[in-house]
Each structure stands twice: as C-alpha cells, then as structure tokens.
Amino acid sequence: MNITKESIDALNAVVKVEVSAADYQDKVAQILQDYRKKADIPGFRKGHVPMGMIKKQYGKSIMIDEVNKLIQESLNKFLTEEKLDILGNPLPKIQDDFSWDADDYSFEFELGLAPEFEVNLDAKKKITQYNIVADKDLLDKEVENIQKRFGKLVSKEAVEEGDNITGTFVNEEKEINKKSTIELASIKGKVNQKKFIGAKVGDVIELKTKGLFDDDHKLMGALGLTHDEIHELEIPLTFTVEEINVTELAEVNQELFDKVFGPDVVKSEEELREKIKEDAEKQFQTQADQQLLNAVTEYLVENTNFDLPAEFLKKWLAVAGEKPMTPEQAAEEFEKSEKGLRYQLIEGKVLKDNELQINFEELKDFTKGFVKAQMAQYGQLNPEEKDLDDIVQRVLSNQDEAKRLQEQLVSKKLLDFYKENITFKVKEVTYEEFVKEVYK
C-alpha cells in the first residue's frame, strides 16, 4: 500500500491511497475459509462446500468490505502520523472509470486543512468588563419582598392600590377558564388599573389581553397558556373578583431575620442588607462573567483573521448529515455555522498554546464542587466524601452530563485566562443599567 499527499494550497490537499492485491488477498482468503467452514448449503456436507462456490457467492462483497476497511484504517493512521489538522472528514473523489473488477485500486480523498493563525489578546478597542453592584433601590425592593413573603394576608372589601386580587379569567371562544391571583401593580396602564380600583367580590371586569400585564410571562401564568399561545394574542376577557387581599408587611426584626437565614445568622437590618447585597452581587457576577466571555468571543472572532477551506466545507456539509443537502442548502448552512467554527478554532488555539486543556482529575474536582453546591441548596452542607465520590461517578457516567460539565470547566478556564491576560475597561453599573446596556 502506498499513500501520498498533494498540497493544492495552504487549506486544501488531496491524499492518494493505492491498494494492491497483496494488501488484502490473505485477509480475504482467511475470511472465505471461515465462510466455507460455516456454510450450510443444501447438497453439501457442512464444511465441504467447494471453495469456487463460496468465492462466487461471497468473494466480491468480502473483498470490497476488506478494501474499504483497509483504506479507512490506513488513512486515519496516515493523518495521525503526518499530524494533519483537518476540518470535517476526508471526502472521496468520484472516479467515473472506477471498477471493482480490477486487482489494484487507487483512491483519492480531498482534505480541508485547518488554517494557521495567531490570536492577539491585546485588544485595540478595550472590551468592557462590568462590575454590577446592588444599589440602595434594589436593596429596598429586596427587603420589601422579604417582608411580603413573610407577611400576612388581610382580607378587604374593595380593591385599592397595592392589593392582591383572586378571580377567574374567562374567554369562551378560546376555552379559557382560569382562576388566578394577581397583583394590581402588575396590571399595565392607568386605564386597566382603574377598572379594578373599587371593585368588590362578585364584580365582573371586562378586559383585553393586549397590554394587560407589564410582562407577557405574567399573562401566560394568569391564563394558563403557553408562550406560543399568548404570542400576539388579542382577545376580550372577563375577570370575576372572588377575593381581595392586601399583604401586611412583616416587621423587620430578629424574628424575620431568623426565618430568612436561621437563628442568629443576621442580627440587624444593616446586616440583613449586607447579606442581601452579598448574595445579589454573587448572582450578578455570574451574569457579568458570562457577558464578558461572550464579549471576548465576539471580539476574537471579529479580529482574528484567517481563511477557511470554504468550498471543501460546503461539499462536506452537503453529505455529512443524516439527509443530503443541495449545494444551495450546504452554502446556507456554512454561512450560519461559519462564525461558530471560527471560534472553535480560536478557542482550540488558545487552549493548546497556553496549556489550558483539562484532565479527568480536574473534571472530577469540578463536578464535585458542582454536586456540593447543589446539595447545599437542599440543606446538606457536610456530605460524606464517599457519598460525594459515588454521586460524581454517576454524574460523569452520563455522557451528556459529562460533556456539559466539561464545557463549563473549559469556559471557566478560558474566562480566568482572559481576565489575567486582557486589559479590560472596567465599568461599575447597577443591575438595571447592566440590563439596559447589554440586552438593549
């Protein structure tokens, strides 16, 4: 067997695999002997079927199968030994005059080669790193939310601002008949709110779904519909008032602190606010880190220039999936996936050049930390080490879960690396300001 590579350009090559009869004949003969021993053909004793008959019936298909296996094994070995970094998989070139009736064969495979490039982390235009702080307004709202959560409901005769109203939404055409409790503050617009003010138990209020709530997700919950069902939903509703309540806020005292955090963990309103601020900013940090990783990703994709073997990749995409694509479909798919492929190459380059690849022990430790955090949420603060190890083993035996955790660990390593090696423009913002700037 002879394998040679011809470079077309920096991103494309053709590998030629030449197979002679001597490369596969012994293996084919051995398999035919095994077939002969096991063949059960009427008129012949088992194991005594003439070899000519076995060859005639099975010889060609066995030979084709063995040649294909030999080509695949040899091609994979060649790519490994030559350290060829390819994109996609080798594509066999069509040979119009090819015939399996010959003894010697020649096959050609197109290769798309990964480009060589450098990743420059010295950003010319500084990337913004957000530091999200919990401001006084947020802390005030969170303290009030805690007071509401541990407050008590007081029944009322008529609806006023700040009340909770329980009733049934009805629309016969859409077969909506849903009992819900809503906060008057979540009703959007003064016109709609005025319809509720002064209403008593038994009153029927006429409404419209469009613009009824300040958040469409609240409309989903109130009507018991799915996201798709409420999309652009414009129908009339009736709401029959059944209960009117106001939440009497719990007092901010030691009893409240103990209910929220456990006995004597927090001993003053100042400590309560500090605890809320600490917990909130931990959550904000997770969002800020994800945004920073996204921003770096966008920057590197836009500012790391290299060519791809585009035509090869389009041909490969056309045949790589479960269903073949037309050239037009493959070109469209390439356009959609090109950005992701570019970042995969950049990410791989950063990981390799800076020795950031993860090993199994790191993945186990990361998974253990993840499991401990999950258990802590359910009050299991000091699990036995053996129990932890057993859970980690079960988690990592699930391929999908292991892959997800591995991706999270890679993202963490990259983020830590970027924070150490890129100079960012740090900007302190409140959470509302962060949302406006990032998700505008």
Percent of the chain scoring above 70 in pLDDT: 100
Backbone angles phi and psi of 193, in degrees to 5: -65, -35
What's the pLDDT score for residue 266?
93
pLDDT band at 377 (very low <50, low <70, confident <90, very high): confident
Query: pLDDT digit string (tens) for 401-424?
Result: 999 999 999 999 999 999 999 999
- The whole-number average pLDDT for the span 35-55 is 82
pLDDT of 212 reads 93
CA distances from 131 to 26, 286, 298, 414 (A): 70, 11, 19, 19
- Are 161 and 94 in the same domain? no
CATH of residue 182's domain is: 3.10.50
Quote the domain boundaries for residue 32.
2-113
Using alpha carbons only, give the angle 174, 179, 185 rounded to the nearest 5 degrees.
Answer: 105
Question: What confidence tens digit (pLDDT) does each residue in 4-20 have?
Answer: 999 999 999 999 999 99
pLDDT above 90: percentage of residues in the chain:
77
Q: Which pLDDT score is estimated for 79?
A: 94
Confidence of residue 38 (pLDDT cuts 50, 70, 90): confident
Helices then strands, counting H and E runs in the chain, come out as: 15, 11
How much is the pLDDT for 44?
81
The arithmetic mean of pLDDT across residues 311-334, rounded, is 93
Work out the average pLDDT over 356-379. 88
Is pLDDT of 229 > 80?
yes
Average pLDDT, the chain: 92
How far CA 293 is from CA of 130, 324, 347, 414, 438, in Å, comes to 11, 35, 12, 8, 13
- 287 and 182, same structural domain? no
CATH of the domain at 21: 3.30.70.1050
d(CA 207, CA 240): 11
Neighbours of 138 (CB within 10 A): 18
Q: Which of these three, 61, 82, 113, is where a domain ends?
A: 113
Q: Which two tokens mark 37?
A: 């021993």
Shared domain for 271 and 219, answered yes or no, is no
Q: What is the pLDDT at residue 94?
A: 87
For the segment 125-151, what is each residue's pLDDT rounded down to a tens digit?
A: 899 999 999 999 999 999 999 999 999
Q: Report pLDDT digits (tens) over 252-297.
A: 999 999 999 889 999 999 999 999 999 999 999 999 999 999 999 9
Based on the structure, what is the number of domains in the chain? 3
Q: In the predicted model, what is the mean pLDDT of residues 204-224?
A: 91
CA neighbor of 287 nearest in space, from 138, 139, 415: 415
Return the pLDDT at 378: 76
Q: The domain that contains 358 carries what CATH number?
A: 1.10.3120
